[in-house]
Amino acid sequence: MIDDPAPSPRGRPARRGELDAGELRSDSPAHVVLVGLPGAGKSTHGRHAARHLRRPFIDLDRRVAQLTGESVRRIFQLRGEPAFRKLERQATAALALEPAAIVAPGGGWIMDPENVALIRPGAIIVWLRVSPVVAVQRMGARVRLRPLLAGADPVVALEALLERRAANYATADAVIDTEVLDWHGVVKAIAALAMPVGGH
């Protein structure tokens, strides 16, 4: 569980050093990277935001699968998580050669400092925050397709993931609470962070 300070007037917590979702950057970042727990809506919100901004949308797990011709689930089963993380770093490094995009990596992407170093400077990392209970509700039956959640109580598993990852998620440049904002609000917040001052 994360202890939040008092909500800001925008209805979301504001932390020292954090970019507010309404504060525009003075320059357009190379990529906007959405991080958070499985079920936070990284792919759903990312696709909507990419469409709104007329940018490409990149599902990094799909890129990893393309490197091997195997699904992420099968990579985990046959090769294990360390092999998957190595492929994930390769896919992250390849982003340097691509135009500005909205990027949705897997939930554990931010745990690897090399991934973060490869994407910065220039990119904005945004934590789409959601509670484990709501995340599981959103995933529904699809929760069993998640390699790290299969075979366990998914809420308990997500609570453990959040406990391990919270400090890394908190290093993001901005936090958007997906339980406070509806999907339109989340997309607008992502777009605001992605646009330069004076951008339309």
CATH number at residue 82: 3.40.50.300
- Determine the pLDDT at residue 166: 94
- Determine the pLDDT at residue 3: 31
pTM of the model: 0.79
Q: Which domain holds residue 160?
A: 31-194
Report the C-alpha gap between 1 and 159 in whole angstroms.
8
- Determine the pLDDT at residue 57: 97
Sheet architecture: strand order including 101-104: 57-59, 101-104, 31-35, 124-129, 174-177
Task: Give yes or no for residue 188 having a pLDDT over 80.
Answer: yes
Q: Is 200 a domain residue? A: no
At 6, list the tokens. Answer: 């008092």
Task: Give yes or no for residue 8 having a pLDDT over 60.
Answer: no
- Determine the pLDDT at residue 163: 94
Q: Is 35 a domain residue? A: yes
- Determine the pLDDT at residue 72: 85
For residues 73 and 199, the model is more confident at: 73
Please state, in angstroms and as integers, the Cα–Cα distance from residue 163 to each residue in 114, 158, 169, 170, following that order.
21, 8, 10, 12
Short-list 51, 38, 40, 29, CA closest to 175: 40
Task: Please write the tens of the pLDDT for every residue from 14-62.
Answer: 333 334 433 434 344 589 999 999 889 999 999 999 999 999 999 999 9
pLDDT > 70 in the chain, percent: 78
- Determine the pLDDT at residue 43: 92
Q: Is 168 a domain residue? A: yes
- How confident is residue 157, by pLDDT bands cut at 50, 70 and 90? confident
Short-list 15, 113, 110, CA closest to 6: 15
Task: Please write the tens of the pLDDT for every residue from 53-101.
Answer: 999 999 999 999 998 899 988 898 888 888 999 999 999 999 988 999 9
At 156, list the tokens. Answer: 């308990």
Q: Please, where are the H alpha helices in 17-176? A: 42-53, 60-68, 72-79, 81-94, 113-119, 132-139, 154-169
Q: Is 94 a domain residue? A: yes
- Determine the pLDDT at residue 96: 86
At 173, list the tokens. Answer: 């440049």
Q: Is 174 a domain residue? A: yes
> How many structural domains comprise the chain?
1
